[in-house]
Amino acid sequence: MADRTSVTAGPRRPQRYLPLQILLGFMVIYFLVPFWWVIVNSSKDAPGLFSGGNTLWFSDQIDYLGNLRQLFTYDGGIYLRWILNSTLYALAGGIGATILSVMAGYGFAKYRFAARRFSFAVVLGALMVPATALVIPTFIMFSRLGLTNTVWAVILPSLLNPFGVYLMHVYARDAVPDELLDAARVDGAGEVRTFLQIALPMMRPAVVTVLLLSAVASWNNYFLPLAMLSDNRLFPVTVGLGLWQGIASANNTGTTSLWSLIILGSLVSVLPLIIAFFSLQRHWRGGLSVGGLR
């Protein structure tokens, strides 16, 4: 009893339960297996890949550089284009969606304007609309406007992020005190300046979270670009690798090099987001916890 209370009374002492840690170890292995397979097999050349056996370990030939060169020169360097396209879609969609969500969330939280409750209820209802159900009509609308098969066809619909609005609303409501905003107003700051200089810095963890979530959603998007784009030079990397996968599966012979490109291509394509997540960890974790999921 005495030692239990000391655990909670003082600063949290590290707690180690061995069986639980072993269980965690198994989970870690499970979650790492696909990464390990991709890392190992992207080092192999085509014969090594198809020789069978040894699928979870390196073969005698470790040729990352040769495979990388092949990946980035295949079909006139189309893979690099896909990566750059994905980056463009993720940044444009992510930043745009974040700006709109932050403004709207703040507006909903801090101003009592006409039809506020009704509009916010509609936005919340929109969380339940299947995003993919919007793709078919959006495609037809865009094709009327001549926008299909352009970057706008992917970027514009990604600007919509109702969940971001919800998150920002909760955060602005809880973390930005009205008294502070009123004080700024009394001091003669305009509404826009109050927002930019007082409220925005206080909402930073949530802003980073919404930015990451929307950028990830754009980077991972598959259905929308698949439907909107027909020129493979506009594809994001998800649609591009899906295309290769389809080609490689369709004719199993003679496309052995394409399989190794797909494997290494998968590995390279996941690195940017992994790096982004790990380096920004400090920021988004705070955002998720306060993100009001209570």
Partner 1 sequence: MTLLTEKRAPRAHKETHKIRGKVHLREHLMGWLFVGPFGVVFLAFLIAPLLYALYLSLFQKKLIGGTSFVLFDNYVKAFTDPSFLSGAWFVIRFSLVAIPLQIVIALAMALILDAVTSLFARFSRLIIFLPYAIPTVIGAVMWGFLYSKGFGPLTDIFGLFGADAPDFLSSNLIFYGLLNVVTWQWVGYYMIILYAALQGVDPTLYEAARMDGAGRWQIALRIKIPLIAPALILILVFSLIGTLQFFNEPQILRYLAAGTIGSDFTPNMYAYQQAFSLANFNYGSAISFALGGIVFICVYAFLFFTRKRRSFL
- Using CB under 8 A as the binding rule, the residues of this chain from 251 to 290 that contact partner 1 are 259, 262-263, 266, 269-270, 273-274, 276-278, 281, 285, 288-290
Residues between 1 and 40 that touch partner 1 (CB under 8 A): 4-5, 8-9, 12, 14-17, 20-21, 23-25, 27-28, 30-35, 37-38
Among 274, 262, 269, 264, smallest CA distance to 65 is for: 264
Among 71, 85, 74, smallest CA distance to 149 is for: 85
Least Å from the CB of residue 178 to partner 1? 5
- Can you spell out the DSSP letters for 31-86? HHHHHHHHHHHTTS-HHHHHS-S-TTS--S---HHHHHHHHHHGGGTHHHHHHHHH
Least Å from the CB of residue 36 to partner 1? 10
Dig out the tokens for 285 from the structure: 């974790």
3-state secondary structure of 12: coil
Dig out the tokens for 95 from the structure: 């930043």
Residue nearer to partner 1 on the CB measure, 23 or 69:
23
Site for partner 1 (CB under 8 A): which residue of 147, 151, 160, 202?
160
Least Å from the CB of residue 41 to partner 1? 7
Residues between 86 and 145 that touch partner 1 (CB under 8 A): 99-101, 103-104, 106-108, 111-114, 116-117, 119-121, 123-141
Amino acid at 226: L
Residue nearer to partner 1 on the CB measure, 68 or 156:
156
Query: What distance, in Å, lies between the first and last C-alpha atoms of the chain?
Result: 32
In sequence order, which ranges of 221-255 are alpha helices (DSSP H)? 223-228, 237-250
CA 188 to each of CA 180, 183, 195: distance values in angstroms, whole numbers, following the listed order: 13, 9, 13
Interface segment toward partner 1; rule CB under 8 A; list 63-71, 73-81, 146-154, 214-222: 214-222
Interface segment toward partner 1; rule CB under 8 A; list 64-72, 76-84, 145-153, 223-231: 223-231
Residue nearer to partner 1 on the CB measure, 32 or 84:
32
Told to check if 174 binds partner 1 by CB under 8 A, we report no
CA 32 to each of CA 17, 43, 46, 235, 263: distance values in angstroms, whole numbers, following the listed order: 22, 17, 24, 28, 16
Interface segment toward partner 1; rule CB under 8 A; list 61-69, 70-78, 151-159, 200-208: 151-159
Told to check if 214 binds partner 1 by CB under 8 A, we report no
Told to check if 193 binds partner 1 by CB under 8 A, we report no
Least Å from the CB of residue 63 to partner 1? 17
Dig out the tokens for 284 from the structure: 């988004």
Residue nearer to partner 1 on the CB measure, 75 or 121:
121
Question: How many other CB atoms are there within 10 angstroms of residue 234's CB atom?
Answer: 21
Least Å from the CB of residue 69 to partner 1? 21
Site for partner 1 (CB under 8 A): which residue of 162, 184, 211, 214?
162
